[in-house]
């Protein structure tokens, strides 16, 4: 089973990364490898709305997004992990998602959704926010759902934690790391 993960936090060893690492440990119990994309370090331009993908479903911008297009197309399981920034996903995550407009054209204009493999396609969304405001989860989750639908991932689980602000604060949460580990295990359970 092919599993890919997007890390949307710029903070090294931050709460999102700690959570994602636990989810990955859970995935690896099944023997599946995980390809991780640390979006903060990738050269990916924002979507230019140039229309270059309208008729082909292929983005014409040449940058490191090309690795991600291939990975998304062939993945069975997709993890998106992001901190909540200004009530939404981080810019790092959002830039990658906007570039998936090429998949939107392929799916909805050309009527060619990404075919699923024998394991189907499932997602996991991990969110961490420093404030106790549910709106941050709602907004991020809405964008993430649109992302998953566009890349033909019909179902996903969301794990979110609020009130986690300082670097590493997630380590003091009573269940978060275990929850992420279990969610990773469940993601690849067939
Ligand atoms: C630019 C920026 C914007 C933020 N906006 C929000 C927000 O709208 N809602 C919230 O709950 N937390 C917000 N936070 C707090 C982060 O979500 C929180 O510190 C989180 O734990 C960061 O995760 P990380 O350690 O993985 O980077 C913001 C932090 C930054 C740096």
pLDDT (mean) for 125-134: 98
Q: Is 110 in the pocket of ligand 1 (CB under 6 A)?
A: no
Q: Is 84 in the pocket of ligand 1 (CB under 6 A)?
A: yes
pLDDT (mean) for 17-40: 97
- The pLDDT tens digits for 42-63 are 999 999 999 999 999 999 999 9
Alpha helices in the chain (DSSP H): 15-28, 65-74, 91-98, 101-104, 134-150, 176-187
The pTM for the full model equals 0.98
* Number of Cβ atoms within 10 Å of the Cβ of 84: 24
Domains, the chain, ranges and CATH? 3-187 (3.40.50.360)
Ligand 1 centroid vs 61 CA: distance in angstroms?
A: 30
Q: What is the pLDDT of residue 1?
A: 95
Q: What is the pLDDT of residue 125?
A: 98
Q: What is the pLDDT of residue 190?
A: 84
Can you tell me the distance from the alpha carbon of 62 to that of 129, in angstroms, rounded to the nearest whole number? 33
* Number of Cβ atoms within 10 Å of the Cβ of 176: 22
Do residues 9 and 15 lie in contact, with contact meaning Cβ atoms separated by under 8 Å?
yes
pLDDT (mean) for 72-97: 98
Q: Is 184 in the pocket of ligand 1 (CB under 6 A)?
A: no
Q: Which of 6, 8, 21, 84 to mutate to test the pocket of ligand 1 (most atoms within 8 A of CB)?
A: 84
Q: Is 119 in the pocket of ligand 1 (CB under 6 A)?
A: no
Q: What is the pLDDT of residue 14?
A: 98
Ligand 1 centroid vs 182 CA: distance in angstroms?
A: 24
Q: Is 138 in the pocket of ligand 1 (CB under 6 A)?
A: no
Can you tell me the distance from the alpha carbon of 112 to that of 102, in angstroms, rounded to the nearest whole number? 11
pLDDT (mean) for 137-155: 98
Atom 1 of ligand 1, residue of closest alpha carbon: 85
pLDDT (mean) for 10-31: 98
Nearest to 126 by CA among 16, 14, 12, 4: 16
Confidence check: pLDDT of 96 > 90: yes
Atom 15 of ligand 1, residue of closest alpha carbon: 130
Minimum-distance ligand 1 atom for the alpha carbon of 168: 25
């Amino acid at each position: 089973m092919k599993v890919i993960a997007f890390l949307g936090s710029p903070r090294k060893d931050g709460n999102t990364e700690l959570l994602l690492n636990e989810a990955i440990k859970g995935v690896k119990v099944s023997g599946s490898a995980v390809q991780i994309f640390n979006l903060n370090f990738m050269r990916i331009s924002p979507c230019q709305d140039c229309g270059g993908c309208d008729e082909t479903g292929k983005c014409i911008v040449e940058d490191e997004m090309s690795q991600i297009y291939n990975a998304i197309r062939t993945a069975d399981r997709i993890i998106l992990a992001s901190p909540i920034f200004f009530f939404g996903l981080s810019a790092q995550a959002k830039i990658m998602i906007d570039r998936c407009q090429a998949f939107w054209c392929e799916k909805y204009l050309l009527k060619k959704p990404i075919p699923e493999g024998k394991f189907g396609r499932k997602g996991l969304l991990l969110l961490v926010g420093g404030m106790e405001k549910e709106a941050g989860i709602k907004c991020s989750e809405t964008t993430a759902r649109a992302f998953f639908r566009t890349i033909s991932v019909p179902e996903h689980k969301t794990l979110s934690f609020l009130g986690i602000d300082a670097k590493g604060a997630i380590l003091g949460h009573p269940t978060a790391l275990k929850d992420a580990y279990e969610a990773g295990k469940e993601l690849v359970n067939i």
